[in-house]
């Protein structure tokens, strides 16, 4: 692929470098029907080609025609597209554009370095999400909004899943968030500080961008490029690219308020957002957006069987002590600005950026105060039949050996017996039942903040040469906390809240982009030659937690666990700061070789000069307009992704389930750690990808369009977090004696990043869309989108047998599986293979109505805590039936400025009840892997004001 790209680029330049003769030129102006003001940056294109221009700040344009039968298309986001036959006698053409009542025009900039174009003129599939689409749903979460619009986009809610509860990693075409790039105004946005240490195999270990730090009201349009674009935007754009275009009006005020809740009466939320545009002298603008959100938690739990048993013995265990549901999100505030200033007719300054913060917390697992599931090393010592109630000897020198007392209550004793013992030995012996008589359920949370800024200057010349110089930065901080828990080794009289660590992601970049159209005699259009260079650095930093979150207390030697229980703090010796700089250069060629054939070729060179060395990616894409109504398109591209500094260096200890449903400590360690190497880890390398696509566009009528796109994405040496690798008693003993993880001696599972498997995603996207404006106040919009994706695990490492661990021979050899059976099943089956999103919207004067149908086909998943997808020797794989989900909205325009709407998502509260094993063992009432919102019907009321 590398040599094909280089050869193609050189051939195009050498073979066709001949100037063409002059053509017929048409000139004119474009103005706004409502205000009469000239319109800048309106796209003017010859129909059926990619030849065109944009209007100047004075609304003027000039374009050379290619034939006497040429028709011009005038397009601008938010306005009705005009199709006009130009005069051939030199008469000036004056065009007036009217506002669209539905924002139905799909003018996009992603996927090309030429002029903005309609999605039906693109050689690659692109989805366009309009501002109205962003509003017509109960959720204020960008991930949920995109899932409701794009069937190949999947995102789940992750309860009791660490930071993925607050920054939910989405998948596009079944690939990790790491394989998709987020752009804002065409500039790359930074990753989140959250690394997904829990979740399904598709997202485990991923580190993507946090889109919810950008207020939805700031978005003029959201573009989703569903094709490999590594050569154009970055080597890791394997699955595609998101491009968020910011509002850029210099006038007007918009306010959106929304309240809602679920049909069960919980999950109440409020959202208030505002956008305002201001002139920046007569030559510029400043557009500002603010949003405030507050969301109460939900509870879809039932009482666990062990909790009910403890209640029957008198223990004051809280009802539904372990909560499954949405987290509590407090005071989420985001702000964004977009500004531009014309220094002259050809030079333009621009800047944009924003700040956001929010705090979230959710339930962790119940720490049972007794019984067989009593929390190890807090309420219980040992395991199985030999397990005893955990007790601390407050004064080892007083002659009373607390751990050998004959009247120490067993784990099966009732509440009164335990309390009687506490009363008899208070001040001498200590049980955590004294302070936590009903056990405790930690609340895990994070204070999140995000800062970004981009500034640049761009210009163009009459010859068509364009240039753009910019610099940007981004910063994402995850400040973690855990409440209602203990550091058991500290004993009594200790804090119940800990700050266990910070994760900080920082990125800085400098870009230079240029383009120039070269007129070639052999081509129907100029050959657009674009190129650029970029320097970018990515930094990941872990900061130590507060001392109590990791300190080794005086009761550690008596068997009590160290560190904040549930999420252990990071000590200073495990904190660090890691950086990966790289520079890149790209070239991008695109032209209409003949009137009916558009070809684009791109190549990109990147150098990760501190570690992974150089990469070269390429792309060839073509659009063939076979007839005026039928086009075919296709592309071939390659991609490469190196592990992020966070993935390569992260070290963390959290709570997980073992195969019997008990709570244990699980560690995330770097692949170069001696423990990981002893378990078979190898140095991380980059993953590579080949993306093939073939599609068609059928313009059935001016208002009805059908597109279908086949795709195949093959990834080699995929970077992902292994499943939890259990440490048996002997391995755990060797680890404890080695001192490799001082203070983490209770570790019973580990995981690390690896390049362990190859996959292929094969599928098809089909979209039938109908957009019709009948009059200035009547419109019909309908679409049916279908996605079928079949993931296939091509290769993975077989389990390995180790006979020694950390240099010590083992009495019995142990098998280690890097890719567990559970993860293998999740890779291929956890996402439904078939998805449909069908939507119909009707506008009739002041009224509007919308109905949206979602179909999710069946999917498979292992029960929650089954590492090998078996429980007690029984198969733990379950198949769940598909479902239709129905959303609806009705609205009324009260006046020219005010609109009200009421809607319901998931009208019939469709859900999948949990398996009895999960229900009794974990207390969840629904299937955790459900691909839609499991909380039931969501009702909302929205009020809008525009001035």
Q: What is the pLDDT of residues 340-355, one digit of tens each?
A: 999 998 999 999 999 9
Terminus-to-terminus CA distance in the chain, angstroms?
A: 53
Both tokens assigned to 202: 């598709």
pLDDT value at 745 more than 80: no
User: What confidence tens digit (pLDDT) does each residue in 380-406 have?
Assistant: 998 888 899 999 999 998 989 998 999
Confidence at 874, pLDDT banded by 50, 70, 90: confident
Residue 453, CA atoms < 13 Å, CB-side half-sphere: 2
Q: Taking the CB of residue 847, how many other CB atoms lie within 10 A of it? A: 12
281 torsion bin: left (phi>0), alpha (psi -120 to 50), beta (else): left
* Alpha-carbon distance values, 27 to 54, 172, 213, 426, 457 (Å): 12, 43, 43, 93, 28
User: ∠489-490-492 over CA atoms, to 5°?
Assistant: 120
Q: What is the mean pLDDT of the chain?
A: 89
User: What confidence tens digit (pLDDT) does each residue in 769-814 have?
Assistant: 998 888 888 999 999 999 999 999 999 888 888 888 888 888 888 8
563 torsion bin: left (phi>0), alpha (psi -120 to 50), beta (else): left
Confidence at 817, pLDDT banded by 50, 70, 90: confident
Confidence at 59, pLDDT banded by 50, 70, 90: confident
SS3 call for 128: strand
Residue 659 DSSP label: T
Both tokens assigned to 731: 């391995």
Decide: 852 and 906 in contact? Cβ < 8 Å.
no
Query: What pLDDT is attached to residue 661?
Result: 60
Distance CA 431, CA 224 (A): 56
Query: What pLDDT is attached to residue 9?
Result: 46
Q: Taking the CB of residue 91, how many other CB atoms lie within 10 A of it? A: 11
Question: CA nearest 637: which of 692, 686, 598, 589?
Answer: 692
In a domain, 354, yes or no: yes
User: What confidence tens digit (pLDDT) does each residue in 179-221 have?
Assistant: 999 999 999 999 999 998 887 788 888 999 999 999 999 999 8
In a domain, 435, yes or no: no
Q: How many domains does the chain have?
A: 1
In a domain, 606, yes or no: yes
Name 946's bridge partners: 254
SS3 call for 169: coil
Distance CA 620, CA 637 (A): 6
Distance CA 896, CA 846 (A): 9
Query: What pLDDT is attached to residue 858?
Result: 95
Query: What pLDDT is attached to residue 667?
Result: 80
Query: What pLDDT is attached to residue 473?
Result: 98
pLDDT value at 452 more than 50: yes
SS3 call for 606: strand
SS3 call for 919: helix
User: What confidence tens digit (pLDDT) does each residue in 473-500 have?
Assistant: 999 999 999 999 999 999 999 999 999 9
Distance CA 275, CA 819 (A): 48
**Residue predicted with more confidence, 115 or 829:** 829
In a domain, 598, yes or no: yes
Confidence at 742, pLDDT banded by 50, 70, 90: low
Distance CA 160, CA 143 (A): 19
Confidence at 235, pLDDT banded by 50, 70, 90: confident
Average pLDDT estimate for 256-264? 95
Alpha helices in 277-330 (DSSP H): 305-312
Decide: 381 and 367 in contact? Cβ < 8 Å.
no
Strand ranges for 9-67 from DSSP E: 25-32, 43-46, 52-54, 60-64
Query: What pLDDT is attached to residue 13?
Result: 42
Distance CA 915, CA 895 (A): 51
Q: What percent of the chain has pLDDT over 90?
A: 57
Query: What pLDDT is attached to residue 659?
Result: 58
**Residue predicted with more confidence, 934 or 587:** 587
Residue 798 DSSP label: P
In a domain, 181, yes or no: no
In a domain, 432, yes or no: no
User: What confidence tens digit (pLDDT) does each residue in 839-861 have?
Assistant: 999 999 999 999 999 999 999 99
Name residues whose C-beta falls within 8 Å of residue 913's C-beta, 6 or more positions apart in sequence: 919, 925, 926, 927
Query: What pLDDT is attached to residue 657?
Result: 64
Distance CA 242, CA 170 (A): 12
In a domain, 624, yes or no: yes
Confidence at 880, pLDDT banded by 50, 70, 90: very high
Average pLDDT estimate for 720-726? 80
**Residue predicted with more confidence, 121 or 313:** 313
Give the total residue count for the chain: 947
User: ∠921-922-927 over CA atoms, to 5°?
Assistant: 110
User: What confidence tens digit (pLDDT) does each residue in 535-560 have?
Assistant: 999 999 999 999 999 999 999 999 99
SS3 call for 767: strand
Decide: 779 and 843 in contact? Cβ < 8 Å.
yes
Distance CA 63, CA 44 (A): 8
**Residue predicted with more confidence, 656 or 709:** 709
Confidence at 372, pLDDT banded by 50, 70, 90: confident
Both tokens assigned to 142: 């960008």
Average pLDDT estimate for 68-83? 84
Confidence at 872, pLDDT banded by 50, 70, 90: confident
Query: What pLDDT is attached to residue 658?
Result: 63
pTM of the prediction? 0.89
For 646-663, b/e burial (b = at least 16 CB within 10 A) is bbbbbbbbbbbbbbebbb
User: What confidence tens digit (pLDDT) does each residue in 20-42 have?
Assistant: 444 688 999 999 887 888 888 88
Decide: 178 and 645 in contact? Cβ < 8 Å.
no
pLDDT value at 240 more than 80: yes
The CATH number of residue 618's host domain is 2.40.170.20
User: ∠540-329-566 over CA atoms, to 5°?
Assistant: 60
Between strands 429-430 and 392-393, the pairing is: antiparallel
Distance CA 114, CA 55 (A): 14
**Residue predicted with more confidence, 862 or 15:** 862
Name 378's bridge partners: none
Average pLDDT estimate for 251-265? 94
In a domain, 204, yes or no: no
Strand ranges for 626-686 from DSSP E: 630-641, 652-657, 663-668
Distance CA 648, CA 375 (A): 32
What range does the domain containing 737 cover? 253-365+441-946
pLDDT value at 375 more than 50: yes
Query: What pLDDT is attached to residue 5?
Result: 46
Query: What pLDDT is attached to residue 583?
Result: 95
């Amino acid at each position: 692929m590398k040599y094909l790209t280089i050869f193609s680029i050189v051939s195009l330049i050498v073979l066709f470098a001949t100037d063409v003769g002059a053509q017929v030129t048409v000139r004119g102006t474009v103005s706004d029907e409502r205000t009469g003001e000239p319109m800048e940056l309106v796209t003017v294109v010859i129909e059926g080609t990619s030849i065109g221009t944009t209007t100047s700040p004075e609304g003027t344009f000039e374009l050379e025609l290619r034939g006497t039968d040429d028709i011009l298309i005038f397009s601008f986001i938010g306005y009705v597209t005009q199709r006009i036959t130009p005069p051939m006698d030199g008469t000036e053409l004056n065009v007036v554009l009217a506002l669209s009542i539905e924002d139905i025009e799909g003018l996009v900039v992603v996927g090309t370095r030429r002029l903005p174009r309609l999605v039906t003129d693109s050689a690659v599939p692109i989805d366009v999400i309009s501002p109205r689409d962003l509003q017509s749903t109960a959720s204020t979460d960008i991930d949920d909004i995109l899932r409701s619009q794009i069937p190949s986009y999947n995102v789940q809610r992750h309860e009791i899943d660490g930071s993925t509860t607050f920054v939910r990693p989405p998948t596009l075409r079944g690939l990790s968030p790491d394989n998709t790039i987020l752009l804002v105004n065409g500039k790359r946005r930074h990753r989140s500080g959250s690394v997904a240490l829990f979740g399904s195999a598709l997202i485990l270990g991923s580190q993507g961008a946090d889109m919810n730090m950008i207020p939805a009201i700031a978005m003029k349009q959201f573009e989703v490029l569903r094709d490999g674009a590594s050569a154009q935007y970055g080597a890791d754009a394997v699955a595609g690219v998101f491009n968020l275009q910011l509002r850029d009006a210099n006038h007007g005020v918009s306010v959106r308020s929304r309240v809602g809740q679920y049909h069960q009466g919980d999950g109440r939320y409020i959202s208030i957002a505002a956008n305002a545009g201001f002139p920046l002298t007569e030559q510029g603008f400043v557009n500002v957006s603010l949003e405030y959100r507050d969301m109460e938690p939900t509870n879809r739990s039932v009482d666990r069987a062990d909790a009910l048993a403890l209640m029957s013995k008198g223990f004051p265990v809280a009802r539904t002590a372990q909560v499954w549901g949405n987290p509590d999100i407090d005071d989420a505030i985001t702000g964004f600005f977009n500004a531009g200033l014309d220094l002259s007719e050809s030079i333009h300054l621009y800047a944009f950026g924003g700040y956001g913060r929010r705090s979230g917390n959710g339930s962790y697992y119940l720490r049972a105060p007794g019984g067989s599931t009593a929390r190890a090393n807090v309420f219980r010592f040992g395991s199985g039949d030999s397990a005893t109630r955990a007790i601390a000897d407050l004064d080892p020198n007083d002659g009373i050996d607390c751990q050998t007392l004959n009247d120490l209550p067993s784990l099966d004793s009732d509440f009164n017996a335990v309390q009687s013992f506490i009363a008899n030995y208070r001040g001498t012996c200590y049980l955590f039942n004294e302070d936590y008589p009903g056990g405790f359920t930690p609340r895990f949370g994070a204070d999140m903040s995000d800062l970004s800024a981009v500034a640049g200057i761009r210009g163009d010349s009459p010859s068509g040469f364009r240039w753009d110089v910019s610099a940007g930065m981004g910063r994402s901080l995850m400040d973690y906390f855990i409440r209602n828990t203990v550091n058991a080794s500290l004993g009594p009289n200790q804090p119940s809240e800990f700050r266990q660590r910070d994760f900080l992601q920082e990125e800085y970049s400098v870009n230079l982009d240029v383009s120039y159209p070269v007129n070639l005699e052999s081509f129907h259009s100029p050959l657009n030659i674009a190129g650029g260079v970029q320097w970018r650095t990515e930094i990941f930093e872990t900061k130590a937690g507060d001392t109590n979150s990791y300190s080794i207390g005086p009761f550690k030697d008596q068997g009590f666990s160290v560190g904040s229980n549930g999420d252990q703090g990071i000590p200073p010796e495990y904190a660090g700061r890691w950086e990966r700089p790289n520079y890149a250069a790209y070239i991008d060629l695109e032209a209409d070789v003949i009137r009916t054939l558009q070809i684009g070729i791109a190549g990109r060179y990147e150098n990760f000069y501190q570690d992974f060395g150089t990469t070269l990616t390429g792309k060839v894409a073509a659009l063939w307009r076979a007839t005026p109504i039928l086009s075919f398109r296709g592309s071939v591209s390659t991609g490469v992704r190196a592990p992020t500094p966070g993935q390569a260096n992260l070290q963390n200890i959290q709570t997980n389930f073992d195969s019997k449903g008990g709570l244990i400590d699980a560690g995330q360690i770097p692949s170069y750690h001696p423990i990981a190497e002893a378990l078979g880890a190898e140095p991380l390398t980059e993953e590579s990808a080949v993306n093939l696509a073939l599609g068609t566009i059928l313009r059935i009528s001016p208002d009805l369009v059908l597109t279908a796109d086949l795709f195949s994405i093959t990834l080699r040496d995929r970077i992902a977090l292994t499943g939890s690798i259990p440490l048996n008693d002997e391995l755990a003993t060797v680890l404890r004696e080695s001192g490799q993880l001082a203070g983490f001696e209770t570790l019973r599972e580990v995981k690390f990043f690896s390049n362990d498997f190859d996959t292929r995603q094969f599928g098809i996207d089909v979209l039938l869309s109908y957009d019709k404006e009948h009059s200035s106040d009547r419109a019909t919009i309908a679409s049916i989108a279908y996605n079928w994706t079949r993931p296939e695990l091509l290769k993975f490492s077989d389990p390995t047998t180790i006979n020694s661990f950390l240099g010590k021979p083992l009495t019995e050899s142990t098998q280690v599986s890097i890719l567990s059976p559970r993860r293998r099943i999740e890779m291929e089956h956890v996402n439904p293979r078939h998805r449909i999103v069908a939507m119909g919207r009707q506008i009739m004067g002041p009224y509007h109505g919308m109905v949206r149908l979602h179909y999710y086909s069946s999917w498979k998943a292992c029960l929650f805590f089954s590492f090998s997808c078996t429980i007690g020797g029984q198969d733990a794989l379950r198949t769940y039936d598909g479902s239709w989900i129905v959303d609806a909205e009705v609205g009324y325009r009260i006046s020219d400025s005010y609109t009200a709407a009421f809607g319901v998502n998931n009208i019939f509260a469709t859900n999948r009840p949990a398996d009895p094993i999960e229900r009794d063992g974990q207390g969840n009432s629904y299937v955790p892997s459900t691909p839609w919102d499991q909380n039931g019907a969501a009702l909302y009321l929205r009020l809008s004001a525009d001035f």
